[in-house]
Amino acid sequence: MTRIADTDLDVFPLCLGGNVFGWTADEAASFEVLDAYTQAGGNFVDTADLYAGGESEKIIGRWLARRGRRDDIVIATKVGMAGERGNLRADTIRAAAEDSLKSLGVDHIDLYYAHRDDLGTPIEETLAAFDDLVREGKVRYIAASNYDAPRLAAALKISDTEGLARYVALQPEYNLVARDSFEGELADLCVRENLGVMPYFGLARGFLTGKYRPGGPEGDSPRSERARQHLDDRGIAVLGVLDELAAAHDTSLAAVALAWLLAHPSVVSPIASARNTDQLAELLPVADLRLTKDEIDRLTQAAA
C-alpha cells in the first residue's frame, strides 16, 4: 500500500477504474471484477457521476452494500463534466456530491475530484464549496483532474492563503505514448507540492496491452479506433520493448506499462479498468513488479 500525499489514505498500487461499469460491463460482470480485485488486495476504486450516466456509481454502491466492504475501500468520484452539471459552481458541487453519496450508498466520499477545470467559475467559489463538504464530513479529501500547471498552482495558492481544503492529488492523462501534457511543468509541480498522481488512460485505451498490432485485429472495444492511432513508429517501438520486458519478467505488457508509470516519483496508483476478470488478471501483477533503472530508461527512450 502507498499513502496519498499528506492524507491517511493508504491505497493499492493499482486503482480500479469504474468507467466501464454499466457501460461495457454489466452489473454481474462488474461485481465479478470488483470481487477479484479486492480478493487480490485491491482497495482503491475510481468512478464519476458522468460514467454510464451515473450507473457506475450505483453499481459500485450496490456492490459495497452487498459485500459489506465500505470500511476498507477507498472510493474516489468526480464532479464537473456530467451534462448540465458540467461546471464547478458551488451549487453544482453541492447537488452532485449529495447525489453521488446517495448513488454510492455511503455517508462520505474519500477522494472527490474536480473532473476538469472550469474557467467560468472563480477558483475561490469552487474551493469554498469543496471546503464546506470537507468540514461537514461528507468528503474526506479533494483532488483535481485535467488541470494544467498554472491553474493547479493557482488553486493550491488560494487554498493555502484562504485556509480552504487543498487538492491532495491530480488525475492527468499519462502513459508511455501520451507524455507531453504531464511531464515537465505539471509533473514538477506535483512533486514540489507533494500531490499524489493517479494517471488515467495508463494503458492508452488498451494500446499498451499489446492487443493492437500492425495488420492485427481491429478489436471489439469502443476504444479500439483511438487506441490504434498509436500504431506509428514510436508506438511500435514501445510495444517492442514492452514485449521484451514482459517476457523477461514473465508477466503481461499491461503490468510493465503500469510499472513504468509507478516509477515516476509522484505517481501513487495508476488507474486501469477491466470489463472482465481476464482483463483484470493482466493488470494485477503490477502490484509486485519493479522495473530496474535500465528497464525504465529503455521504455522512456522508446517512447521519446
37 flagged as catalytic: no
- 85-129 pLDDT, tens digit per residue, is 999 999 999 999 999 999 999 999 999 999 999 999 999 999 999
220 pLDDT band, cuts 50/70/90, is low
On the question of pLDDT at 34 being above 70, the answer is: yes
CA 175 to each of CA 200, 209, 232, 261: distance values in angstroms, whole numbers, following the listed order: 8, 12, 16, 7
**Of 257, 278, 157, residue with least CA distance to 199:** 257
44 Cβ contact partners less than 8 Å away, ≥ 6 residues apart: 11, 12, 14, 15, 16, 73, 74, 76, 269
Q: What is the pLDDT of residue 78?
A: 98
Backbone dihedral region for residue 274 (phi beyond 0: left; psi -120 to 50: alpha; all else: beta): beta
* Ordered alpha helix ranges (H), the chain: 27-39, 55-67, 90-104, 123-135, 149-162, 185-192, 224-227, 233-249, 253-262, 277-283, 293-302
Cβ pair 181, 172 in contact under 8 A: yes
First to last CA, the chain: 30
CA 120 to each of CA 86, 115, 147, 210: distance values in angstroms, whole numbers, following the listed order: 11, 14, 14, 40
Task: Give the three cell numbers for residue 135.
Answer: 468540514
Lowest-confidence segment of 39-48, 109-118, 154-163, 216-225 by average pLDDT: 216-225
Backbone dihedral region for residue 146 (phi beyond 0: left; psi -120 to 50: alpha; all else: beta): left
Domain ranges across the chain:
2-203+264-290
Q: What is the pLDDT of residue 120?
A: 98
On the question of pLDDT at 28 being above 90, the answer is: yes
CA angle 115, 123, 84 (to 5 degrees): 45
Integer Cα distance of 148 and 116 in angstroms: 10
- 59-69 pLDDT, tens digit per residue, is 999 999 999 99
Task: Give the three cell numbers for residue 7.
Answer: 492524507
The catalytic residue among 37, 51, 174, 212 is 51
Integer Cα distance of 205 and 296 in angstroms: 21
Q: What is the pLDDT of residue 227?
A: 83
218 pLDDT band, cuts 50/70/90, is low
* Three-class SS of 168-226: EEEECECECCECCCCCCHHHHHHHHCCCEECCECCCHHHHHHCCCCCCCCCCCCCCHHH
Q: Which CATH class is domain 2-203+264-290?
A: alpha beta
* Residue 17, strand partner residues: 46
On the question of pLDDT at 247 being above 60, the answer is: yes
Mean of the per-residue pLDDT values of the chain: 96
Integer Cα distance of 280 and 169 in angstroms: 24
| Average pLDDT rounded to a whole number, residues 12-16 | 98
